[in-house]
């Protein structure tokens, strides 16, 4: 299976640069994966496609302001550090630009020295382990100095950082938002629950590995990066009861999908606990838990398009994407949504 099998043409002007004022006013393309039929709606109508007894699975990770702009100590040269994963109390795995100028031993400072750091090691993919020095509480310093780590295709500055956060975000640790959840409001979630639909919360801290481009032409040679997830006993029980009673498990976003599929045994029973996952879902994968997916429109040739194609079929998904382009849907993180059932 080739990377080029998942290519499609996307006009640059369809890449959404700003979030809509009303989260739930995004457009919604619904794809029936059995018939291939496509229909067009508004996201606040999502409840019309859910049934009593269904369960929505949502990722309640919280994005941290992980982008730090500073300088190399002594030279004043500009440096950018993106926090990826906490390795120890004050040691983080990071992406540093420019990497060639930040070898082990290089000292950095941010906010005029309020936050200092030293590059201690180069690890996989050229990432750097960085040890931070500061006074007080790291999270408070980061909240003051850091910026939200928006994807590179978003060039506009975000005026309200909460718009790159779901309304149910709870546990800090992500370097990117689980963007399918950005369309929900508290009011909409309440309406959905009033229809007899349950909600289960899982946590997967989104790293940049999910969004790294597939470089190998043969997709089977692509290596997914590890991400940490956690599922409570309550969430696992709710998902398992839904399956046992004939309800559908509808995952909100590819991260929720990857979490439940990683945590399921061969019988499709979701096990509670914490672990890391490197699961790569592409056509041919047999889903053990998921019955439907709410997701945004993804980059051409990305692992995320491959995951959606595993659920609904490559030709049907690319056909739906072509329809979305014709209908001028908004793409990527701040864009419109798609429901596959």
For 25-41, the DSSP string reads GSEEEEE-TTT--EEEE
The predicted-structure confidence for 283-322, as pLDDT tens digits, reads as follows 999 999 999 999 999 999 999 999 999 999 999 999 999 9
Question: Binning pLDDT at 50, 70 and 90, where does residue 210 land?
Answer: low
Model pLDDT, residue 341? 97
Tokens of 91: 């040691």
Ramachandran angles phi, psi of 135, nearest 5°: -110, 140
Q: What is the largest CA-CA distance in the chain?
A: 65
Distance CA(209)–CA(4), nearest Å, equals: 20
The predicted-structure confidence for 106-127, as pLDDT tens digits, reads as follows 999 999 999 999 999 999 888 9
The predicted-structure confidence for 31-55, as pLDDT tens digits, reads as follows 999 999 999 999 999 999 999 999 9
Which residues fall within 8 angstroms of residue 245, CB to CB, at 6 or more apart?
Answer: 53
Distance CA(95)–CA(86), nearest Å, equals: 12
Task: Tell me the pairing of strands 78-86 and 67-72.
Answer: antiparallel
């Amino acid at each position: 299976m080739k990377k080029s099998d998942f290519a499609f043409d996307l006009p640059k002007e369809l890449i959404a640069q700003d979030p809509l004022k009303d989260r739930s006013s995004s457009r919604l393309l619904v794809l029936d994966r059995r018939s291939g039929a496509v229909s067009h709606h508004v996201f606040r109508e999502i409840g019309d496609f859910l049934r009593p007894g269904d369960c929505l699975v949502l990722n309640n990770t919280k994005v941290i302001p992980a982008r730090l702009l500073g300088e190399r100590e002594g030279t004043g040269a500009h440096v950018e550090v993106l926090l990826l994963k906490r390795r120890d109390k004050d040691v983080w795995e990071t992406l540093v630009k420019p990497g060639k100028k930040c070898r082990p031993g290089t000292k950095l400072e941010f906010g005029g020295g309020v936050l200092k750091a030293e590059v201690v090691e180069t690890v996989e993919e050229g990432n750097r382990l960085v040890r931070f020095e500061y006074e007080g509480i790291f999270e408070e310093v980061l909240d003051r100095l850091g910026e939200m780590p928006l994807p590179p295709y978003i060039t506009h500055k975000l005026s309200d950082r909460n718009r790159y956060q779901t309304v149910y975000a709870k546990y800090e640790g992500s370097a990117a938002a689980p963007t399918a959840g950005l369309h929900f409001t508290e009011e909409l979630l309440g309406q959905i629950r009033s229809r007899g639909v349950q909600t289960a919360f899982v946590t997967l801290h989104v790293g940049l590995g999910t969004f790294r481009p597939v470089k190998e032409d043969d997709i089977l040679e692509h290596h997914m990066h590890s991400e940490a997830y956690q599922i409570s006993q309550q969430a696992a029980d709710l998902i398992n009861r839904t399956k046992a009673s004939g309800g559908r498990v509808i995952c909100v976003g590819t991260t929720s999908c990857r979490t439940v599929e990683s945590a399921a045994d061969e019988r499709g029973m979701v096990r509670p606990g914490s672990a890391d996952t490197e699961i790569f879902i592409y056509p041919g994968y047999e889903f053990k838990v998921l019955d439907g997916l709410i997701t945004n429109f993804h980059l051409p040739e990305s692992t995320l398009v491959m995951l959606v194609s595993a659920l609904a079929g490559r030709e049907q998904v690319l056909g739906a994407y072509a329809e979305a382009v014709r209908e001028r849907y908004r793409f990527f993180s701040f864009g419109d949504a798609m429901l596959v059932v």
